[in-house]
């Protein structure tokens, strides 16, 4: 999936999708958790 990520939080009424511009290697991308937390904090 080249690092694409998406999630939805129906309780708070938000959805979020993210696609990387560059391909990453490995199973975990540290910026995913940081970006998801920032989006959630901004709207909740």
Confidence at residue 24, expressed as pLDDT on a 0 to 100 scale: 60
Report pLDDT digits (tens) over 5-44: 788 889 888 888 877 766 665 556 677 778 778 877 887 7
pLDDT on residue 28: 60
Element (H, E) at 34: helix 30-43
Cα R_g (the chain), whole angstroms: 11
Question: What is the pTM (predicted TM-score) of this model?
Answer: 0.45
pLDDT recorded at residue 33: 75
Per-residue pLDDT, 22: 65
What's 26's DSSP letter? S
Task: List the one residue out of 30, 21, 2 whose CA is nearest residue 38.
Answer: 30
- What is the pLDDT, as a whole number, of residue 39? 78
Indicate the domain borders of the chain.
5-43
């Amino acid at each position: 999936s080249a690092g694409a990520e998406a999630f939805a939080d129906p309780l708070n009424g938000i959805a979020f999708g993210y696609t990387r511009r560059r391909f990453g290697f490995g199973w975990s991308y540290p910026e995913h958790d940081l970006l998801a937390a920032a989006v959630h904090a901004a709207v909740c």
